[in-house]
Amino acid sequence: MPAERTTVFLPCHTLDDFPTWLDEGQADDVLAAWTAAWHPSLIAAQGGMPTWASIDLPPPQGILLGIVPASYDERFATQSAANGSADSAWVRGVTGLQAIVAAAAREAGVTGPSGDALPGAAHAGDFHALGLAVLMAELLARRMRSTTDLESTGFAEAVVGAARAALAGHDDEARSGLRCCFDCLESTRARYYPVDVWAVDIVLLATATCGAALRTELESPVPIAVVSTGRCLEVAAARHPESLQALHAAVAAGRVGLCGGRDEDAPLDACTPEQILASFQLGRAAWQELLGSV
C-alpha cells in the first residue's frame, strides 16, 4: 500500500526543544533528512506536505514513508521495531541530501522518465529551500512564544499545487506556487516577528572557485557580495584574469558589492590582535591593488 505521508524523525520531543548544539555531522544529517522530504516528486506522490515526529516516541499511526537522520538511526531503532507499521517504508542509514532523496523516491515508487533524474528536478532546489525556511520559521515562532499558524493561509495546498505543477513541467505555475508559499511564510512571520528583514547573498571566494565557478556566480541576476582573502585574489589574477575582469565589470554595473577580507585564512583564535590587524591591512591593500576599491 502507498504511504499516506512522508514523516521525518527529528531528535526532539517538540520543536521547543529542537537541538541547536549538534556537531557538524549530526546537523548535516538532520537538515539533509528534513529538506530531502521536500522534493517535489515526494510531495506530489503523497499529496501533502512532509510532517515530523520525535525519534524518541512511538511512530505515528498509519502507513508512513519515514526518513530517519543517519546519526540517530540507533536511537530510533528500538521504537521502530516495537511500534512501526509493517506496511511503512523507511529511509535509514543514508547520508547526504541527494542520496536520501533517491532512497525515498525508490521507497515511494517514484522514478524519472529516463530512470535518472526525478520528476520536478528542475525546481528541487527551490523546494528544498522552502523546507528549510519552514523549519526555521517554526523554530523562530516558538522562540517568540508563538506559532506560525500556516494552516490558516492555504500554505499546504499551495505547496502541493506547486509540486504537481513542477512535475507536469508547468514551470511558470510552479514558480508562481512557490512564490505564494514564501509569501505565506513572510505574512505569518509579520505576526510573531514584525521586523524588516534584508538578505545579503555573500559569496566566499576560494582558490578552487575563482575560475569558472566565480564567473557563473557573477552572471546571476541576483546581486551578490564577495568576500575573499588577498591571497585568493592574487591567485585569481594570476590564473584566471578573465574572472577578475568579470568581477570588475560586475562591480561597475552595481551587481556586486565588495566586502574585503584578510590577507590569509589562518584561524583567528591562533592569531594575536596585532597579526589580525596586519592581515586585514595586507588584504585591503591587495583589494585596492587588484580591484581598485573595497
pLDDT digits (tens, 9 = 90+) for 235-279: 999 999 999 999 988 888 888 998 888 998 888 888 899 999 999
Q: How far apart are CA 216 and CA 239, in angstroms?
A: 17
Q: Is the pLDDT of residue 191 over 60?
A: yes
Q: Is the pLDDT of residue 84 over 60?
A: no
pLDDT of residue 69: 95
pTM of the model: 0.74
- Exposure of 170 in the CB half-sphere (CA atoms within 13 A): 11
Please, which pLDDT band fits residue 171 given cuts at 50, 70 and 90? very high
* Nearest one of 1, 97, 2, 88 to 53, comparing CA atoms: 88
| Poorest-pLDDT segment among 70-84, 207-221, 252-266 | 70-84
Rounded to the nearest integer, the mean pLDDT of the chain is: 89
Q: Is the pLDDT of residue 107 over 70?
A: yes
pLDDT of residue 81: 57
Q: How many other β-carbons are positioned within 10 Å of the β-carbon of residue 177?
A: 22
What is the rounded average pLDDT of the residues 86-101? 90
Q: Is the pLDDT of residue 114 over 60?
A: no
Q: Is the pLDDT of residue 113 over 70?
A: no
Q: Which helix H or strand E contains 52, and what residues bound it?
A: strand 51-54
Q: Which three cell numbers stand for residue 106?
A: 525508490
Cα 204 to Cα 235, 237, 278: the distances in Å are 15, 16, 21
- The share of the chain scoring above pLDDT 90, in percent, equals 53
pLDDT of residue 57: 86
Of 115 and 4, the one with more pLDDT: 4
